[in-house]
Amino acid sequence: MKIAAYDLNMAAAHRAEKQRDIAESLRAWRGNSRPDNAMAAPIVRDPVVLADEGHAAHATEAANEAAIDSDPHLSLLRQMLEALTGERIRVSAFSTSAN
């Protein structure tokens, strides 16, 4: 048997479209002066009067900082943030006490 001719036609069509739009914005500034395009209200700072507990916590802050500086992970994180911001980073340790 000999095939003299053959014809094969195939047709296909496919169309897919997916669209996703994302818009993100980050605005940062240093200090109390905000740029003109910042939409938040200005920061109003009230004077703070510390209670006796606040004075006691402030007295132990140096000891807490020494303990935090001994942790290599927190020390590295502090150094990275200081390099990024150009500001000194203060890390505080907080504890909760049940009354």
pLDDT in tens, 28-49: 777 777 666 656 566 667 777 7
AA letter at 93: A
Q: How confident is the model at residue 92 (pLDDT cuts 50, 70, 90)?
A: low
Q: Which amino acid is at 8?
A: L
Query: Got the DSSP string for 52-80?
Result: HHHHHHHHTHHHHHHHHHT-HHHHHHHHH
Assess whether pLDDT exceeds 80 at residue 15: yes
Q: Please tell me the predicted confidence (pLDDT) of residue 72.
A: 84
How many CA atoms does the CB half-sphere of 68 hold within 13 Å? 18
> Per the structure block, which two tokens stand in for 3?
């095939």
Structure tokens at 51: 């209670």
The stretch 78-98 carries a mean pLDDT of 78
